[in-house]
Amino acid sequence: MNPLDLIEILKNHTVYIQTHNFPDPDAIASAFGLQQFLAYHGIEATLCYDGKIDRLSAKKMLETFGIVMHSKNDLWDMKEDDLIVLVDSQKLNSNVTDLIGDEVACIDHHPIFFSYDYQYRDIRPVGSCSCIIASYYQETNTPLSPKCAAALSYGIKMDTADFTRGATALDAEMLAFLFPFADWNLVSNMYSNTMEFDDLRAYGAAIQNIQLFDRTGFAYIPFNCAQALIAIISDFILSLDVIDVAVIYARQTDGIRFSVRSEQKKVHAGNLIAQVLHTYGSGGGHPSMAGGMIPSANFPLLGEDMHVTIQNAFLDVITEMEQEK
Q: Which residues bind Mn ion (CB under 5 A)?
A: 26, 88, 129, 159
Measured from the CB atom, the residue of 88 and 103 that comes closer to Mn ion is 88
Q: Is the CB of 130 or the CB of 271 nearer to Mn ion? A: 130
Q: Minimal CB distance to Mn ion: which residue? A: 26
Residue 36 or 128 with smaller CB distance to Mn ion: 128
Closest CA to 288 of 264, 311, 310, 315: 264
User: For 124-167, where are the E strands, in sequence order?
Assistant: none
SS3 content of the chain, % helix, strand, coil (to 5): 40, 20, 40
Residues 15/46, Cβ–Cβ less than 8 Å: yes
**Minimum CB distance to Mn ion smaller for 219 or for 289:** 289
Q: CA 109, CA 133: separation in Å to the nearest integer?
A: 11
The least CB distance from residue 245 to Mn ion, in Å, is 21
Nearest approach, Cβ of residue 320 and Mn ion (Å): 28
User: 3 or 127, CB closer to Mn ion?
Assistant: 127
Q: Are strands 289-295 and 282-285 parallel, antiparallel or unpaired?
A: antiparallel
| Residues whose CB falls within 8 Å of the CB of residue 78, separated by 6 or more in sequence, listed in order | 14, 16, 99, 100, 101
The minimum distance between CB 58 and Mn ion, in angstroms, equals 13
Toward Mn ion, which CB reaches closer, 54 or 214?
A: 54
Distance in Å, CB of 88 to Mn ion, minimum: 4
Question: In the complex, what is the shortest distance from the CB of residue 127 to Mn ion, in angstroms, rounded to a whole number?
Answer: 8
Alpha helices in 179-226 (DSSP H): 184-189, 199-208
Minimum separation from the CB atom of position 95 to Mn ion (A): 11
Q: Are 260 and 305 in contact (CB under 8 A)?
A: no
**For residue 115, what are the CA distances in angstroms to 90, 106, 137, 201, 217?**
9, 11, 27, 40, 33
Smallest distance, Mn ion to C-beta of residue 109, A? 6
Which residue lies nearer to Mn ion by CB, 82 or 88? 88
Going across the sheet that includes 255-262, the strands are 211-213, 216-221, 245-252, 255-262, 289-295, 282-285
Q: Which helix (H) or strand (E) holds 313?
A: helix 306-323
